[in-house]
Structure 1
Amino acid sequence: MIRLAQAYLLEAKWTHQNYKPTFEEFRDNVLLTSGYAMFAITAFMGMGDVITLETFTWAAGDPKIIKASTIICRFMDNIAKHKFKHRREDDCSTIKCYMEQYGVTAQEAYDGFNKHIENSWKEINKEEGDGYTHVGKAPKGGITSLLIEPVPL
């Protein structure tokens, strides 16, 4: 929550000072203001005793899987908002920062963001496994019960 509040404060400071952040500055901050990382961490609280201090320490350390999930969530949202012009004219957006900094069109910015999204999906699959490349007991059991073992009526 502290990081989220600090990120909101930074956005307010930029607005107040008419500061135009670089794409990298803006990207790093909007990943925090999406609230997605905080949501992922606080979701652990509802899981009871199975979650330990070690789990919270891991999650607060900005693990790759949470960062990748945040990029997917936020960048897809940024593309949709920019396409449908839901932002105020004076409001800075990640897409606008990207376009201005790199001198590209909106479509080229969308393509760049989609590449980040695609890479983030690959990172998530690498971090948690896809269940098919290295099949363990759990997926085999689920497939067996679903397709092979008859369901009693």
Structure 2
Amino acid sequence: MHGKILRWDPGAIDKLPSCLRIVIQSIVETMEDIEREMKPRGRSSSVQDTVEEIKIMGRAYAEISKWARAGHVPTFDDYIELGLDSSGIRCFAMYSFISMEDCEENQTNAWFKSKPKMLRALSVIFRLTNDIAGFEEEMRRGEVVNGVNCYVKQHNVTKELAVREIKKMIRDNYKIMMEEFLTIKSVPRPILVRCFNIVRLVNLYYEEGDNFTNPNGKLKDLITSLFFHPLPL
């Protein structure tokens, strides 16, 4: 799968299993549609940067899947770098910047490519919060490559202690997010607000369990209320 993503070759999609074909076809067609819309507006480089981030995410998933198939539990230090890429946060952020025509594209893209601490902190928050929320279910499915499990192995501690230490990391990265939000001057404020809003989604997804993976409870109700039963204006 990740090879098809890395080549960004629509012609190779037909060779994939049907379940993967739907995913890759949707990704490619969506990005092509966005590029057609953005190119006349002079914002096509943001689209290409988003595609590159999708490739990075695909590569990370491929490496993690190799560990999973082998039943290999890497150290937390080895896991976290790939885990940040597989979180998809950089991809999500770049995707959200594409249509922000009130922000200068080259300036935004240069900041993004500098790998700012704000985006790394956001990736850490999402990745580790997801790992804590999904730990029990992933272990039941035999998916051993999880941040909590990797921390347990590397430091030879209990799950409870691992979760406590990982939550400290999450809190530290919230502090980094806040500091960066208040001090960064190199990009327009709306870009920083967009990043800050992404972290609010993390709270929504994982405030009560893993609503991202299992959206049929609170998350479904919120989406329904927003799109099907909105408050009258």
- TM-score tier by shorter-chain length is 0.7 to 0.9
Distance 1:47 1:20 in 2: 41
Q: Name 1:86's counterpart in structure 2.
A: 137
- Decide whether the 8 Å contact of 1:31 with 1:71 is kept in 2: yes
Equivalent position of 1:77 in the other structure: 130
- Structure number with greater Rg is 1
Q: 8 Å contact 2:121–2:177 — kept in the other structure? A: yes
SS of residue in 2 equivalent to 1:50: coil
Task: State the partner residue of 1:64.
Answer: 117
Given candidates 145, 148, 167, the residue that maps to 1:95 is: 148
Instruction: Tell me if the contact between 1:78 and 1:95 (Cα under 8 Å) persists in the aligned partners.
Output: yes
Large movers: runs of 4+ above 4 Å: none
Q: How far 1:24 sits from its partner (Å)?
A: 0.9
2 CA distance for matches of 1:19 and 1:47? 42
- 3-state DSSP class of the match of 2:99? helix
- CA separation of 1:43/1:51 partners in 2, compared to 1, >3 Å: closer, same or farther? farther
- In 1, the alpha carbon distance for the partners of 2:114 and 2:58 equals 17
Q: How far does the alpha carbon of each residue in 1:37-67 deviate from its partner, in whole angstroms, 9 at most, with x for none? A: 1101111002125232231122133210011
The answer for the alignment partner of 1:124 in structure 2 is 177
State how far apart, in whole Å, the 1-side matches of 2:142 and 2:90 are. Answer: 28
Q: Is the 8 Å Cα contact of residues 23 and 97 (structure 1) preserved in structure 2?
A: yes
CA distance in 1, matches of 2:69, 2:81: 19
Q: Compared with structure 1, are the counterparts of its residues 39 and 95 closer, same or farther at alpha carbon in structure 2 (3 Å cutoff)? A: same
Identity %: 27
In the TM superposition, residue 90 of structure 1 has moved relative to its aligned partner by 4.5
Higher relative contact order, chain-length normalized (CA < 8 Å, sep 6+): 1
Q: Match of 2:122, as an amino acid?
A: S
Unmatched tracts of structure 1, length 5 or more: 131-153
Residue of structure 2 equivalent to 1:54 = 107
Equivalence for 1:145 = none
Q: 2:88 aligns with which of 31, 35, 54?
A: 35
How many corresponding residue pairs?
Answer: 128
Partner SS state of residue 74, structure 2 = coil
Question: Could you tell me the TM-score, scaled by structure 2's length?
Answer: 0.51
CA RMSD in angstroms comes to: 1.8
